[in-house]
Chain A
Amino acid sequence: MYRYDEYDQAIVDARVDEFRDQVARRLSGQLTEDQFKPLRLMNGLYLQLHAYMLRVAVPYGTLDSRQMRMLGHIARTYDRGYGHFTTRQNIQFNWIKLDDTPDILAELATTQMHAIQTSGNCIRNISSDQYAGAAADEVADPRPWAELIRQWSTFHPEFSYLPRKFKIAVIAADEDRAAMRLHDIGIQLVRQDGVLGARIFVGGGMGRTPMIASLIRDFVTADDLMSYLEAALRVYNRYGRRDNIYKARIKILLHEIGADEYRRQVEEEFSLVKQLGIDPPAAELARITAFFAPPAFDADAPDTVDRSDPDFAVWLDQNVAAHKQPGYAIVNISLKPIGGIPGDASADQIDLMADLAERYGFDELRVTHAQNIVLPHVRKADLHAIWQALSGAGLAEANLDLISDIIACPGLDYCALANARSIPVAQKIQARFADRGRQRELGELKLKISGCINACGHHHAGHIGILGVDRKGTENYQLLLGGSGAEDVSLGKITGPGFDEDGVVDAIERVTDRYLAERVEGERFLDTYRRVGFAPFKEAIYG
């Protein structure tokens, strides 16, 4: 994985110094809260309902054991002993004191970590495929391109006060494991005549106006990538709406002027920007790519696994994915134990995952947008030992992509923007479907919960989505069906009138019962829904 050189380190260290200065000016009253807010936000520091929340960047979701242990240390020392992994592949600490933040950032910097641009109206942390470098279906590892974009976007002088936040994802496989087309810019690496390049999608997003990104450029080579992105961002910075915060994302600009007109403007800008010499040379991408060389796999690693332990076999079938290297596998560690808080991990669990990565996994971990952790490169021969260690720490729930593997935002338990709680609803759904056999019978079913219209819990992209709203002072939950954040991307449709907390759990059960009655062999819930349509489910829910 990428390692800082003296330049990267100096920039992150300078940022710590800058933020220490900003916090001191805020504490002394030199800065008003209104002036401090965009400064702290650009460093991932939010003021929530009960305390400050600090969001730490995990660039493209990749980290090593030392960095993971640092997250455990922060959780233990400055928070209440746990952290919350997010849908942007980052981690949030929910109980932070403002005057501790400069020290936290200084500690993070010692392990090449930071909170730069994890919030604010700027280019956010770049997200990517959690199986990068391990999946057989990728045309290349997408992370060198993501790192190139990370560096270009860090403290970009022109794009630090955009109309609204800006999210970029980079993938390199046809299977989309990163919800690429629900980003402001989604990049898919492809090969044309042997040359690696980027397909550029623009204008996706969730929030109150969900949209799927449009294909804007079929192919951009690495030589032109920065110029092209600079042009794409400049058109947005100049013409994105600033009169209404809810219409300020780039998707609204695309919607209003049309994808063709946006493309034309970007091409015109690109032809000018390309003359400026802002693209790094090929040697820079080569330098970065060298950091992502495959680990030293053992060519003789046995390719068979002893499945005689039935509980282990269940976990193996559900949470372990195929690796491109014979004898190796990809382990998904579920952070969704029944009755837990989706995405939360204790400091001890974080340390244990770091230990496992160090001992069995070439020192590498990934955070997924579904709020789980991945060990991308483990020997099949070590799977049983890993499973046993995870079992002892409450981390062996065999529910990847099942109904209990719920994405949920922090909701009204933490978030100042929320209208309704998300976590208790997730827990009630997990309790209702606690029977593991029943979950497996239902198969792949991605359930996603947001506690407000901002859609941090990706409810639009859930096979089943739940949106918490405030209805005359009480929490009310709307149900959506048929969304997907994967390569078969689609937006869910609201079923009708909302429910209270228990009512929405009942409604989900009526939906899953109907699915079991309607499905034909081999169909996932989403396939059945797409085949039979909305009506049978609506009837099942409302009678």
Chain B
Amino acid sequence: MADPDMTSVAAEPQLRFRDDEPHDEPAVTLDAFLAGQSNATAVRLEAGDDARALIDHLDRIALVEVSFPTFRDGRGYSAASILREAGYHGELRAAGDVLVDQLPLMRRCGFDSFVPEAEIDAATLRRSLDRYDLRYQTAADAAVPVWKRRHG
């Protein structure tokens, strides 16, 4: 019988922007992770979970999956930013109601793999990711903000 704290085995990410092997260990809930299953290396954050709770454990985590229950729920963008700012380098996966027009923003917040509920059209995605090569702000990606281009 499946462990009730265990989410279903993670789907293969449809989109992955990493060179390492996909992490195939099932993700545990944040509560389970913090409550002692801390040998787990994959954690799933629900939209309302506090990503900061993971900060002391980042060196032991290889995958964080962040849930997007609806595309309108933007809490996951902050969760991702917080983890990357804290120095997390492992896989950061957006799962759920993830739409093609949101992917460029999610990439900027540090997400590098995606399990969208509905399949994303490859041609649209390519246009979407290639469209902006200039950014006004610093974020979790490598983009150089416009103010830095202006002032070196």
Contact = CB atoms under 8 A, between A and B. Distances in A.
Contacts of A283: 150-151
Contacts of B72: 38, 121, 161, 242
B12 interface: no
Contacts of A160: 74, 77, 105
Contact of B137 (A25, A38, A39, A152): A152
Nearest to A24: B124
A162 interface: yes
- The residue in B72, B131, B137 that gathers the most chain A C-beta atoms within 10 A of its C-beta is B137
Interface string A152-175: 101111111111000000000000
A17 B151 contact: no
A163 B138 CA distance: 22
A56 B78 CA distance: 29
B139 A157 contact: yes
B99 interface: yes
A404 to B, nearest CB: 41
A158 B83 CA distance: 13
A35 interface: yes
B77 A158 contact: yes
A30 interface: yes
Nearest to B145: A280
A472 interface: no
B147 interface: yes
Contacts, number: 107
Given A155-B132, A155-B135, A161-B71, A276 B124 contact: no
Contact of A21 (B47, B77, B127, B138): B127
Interface in A235-282: 237-238, 242, 272-273, 276-278, 280-281
Contact of B74 (A39, A237, A273): A237
Given A38-B72, A121-B72, A161-B77, A277 B138 contact: yes
Given A157-B108, A157-B139, A272 B150 contact: no
B23 interface: no
B85 A272 contact: yes
B146 interface: yes
Contact of B105 (A8, A157, A287): A157
B74 A278 contact: no
B41 interface: no
Given A10-B134, A152-B137, A158 B78 contact: yes
Nearest to A269: B82
A5 interface: yes
Contacts of B108: 157
- The residue in B74, B124, B133 that gathers the most chain A C-beta atoms within 10 A of its C-beta is B74
Interface string B69-109: 00111110110010001000000000000010110111011
Contacts of B105: 155, 157, 160
B139 A158 contact: yes
A267 to B, nearest CB: 15
Contacts of A281: 147, 151
B3 interface: no
A14 interface: yes
B113 to A, nearest CB: 17
B85 A151 contact: no
Contact of A157 (B85, B109, B149): B109
A151 B136 contact: yes
Contacts of B136: 11, 151-152, 154-156
Which 4 residue pairs across A and B have the least CB separation, nearest first?
A: A161-B74, A157-B108, A280-B147, A157-B105
Interface of A: 5, 7-8, 10-11, 14, 17-18, 21-22, 25, 30, 35, 38-39, 121, 151-152, 154-163, 226, 234, 237-238, 242, 272-273, 276-278, 280-281, 283-284, 287
Given A157-B104, A161-B77, 7 more contacts: A18-B132, A22-B101, A39-B101, A121-B72, A238-B78, A277-B138, A278-B138
10 contacts: A30-B124, A156-B137, A157-B106, A157-B108, A157-B109, A159-B77, A161-B72, A238-B50, A277-B138, A287-B150
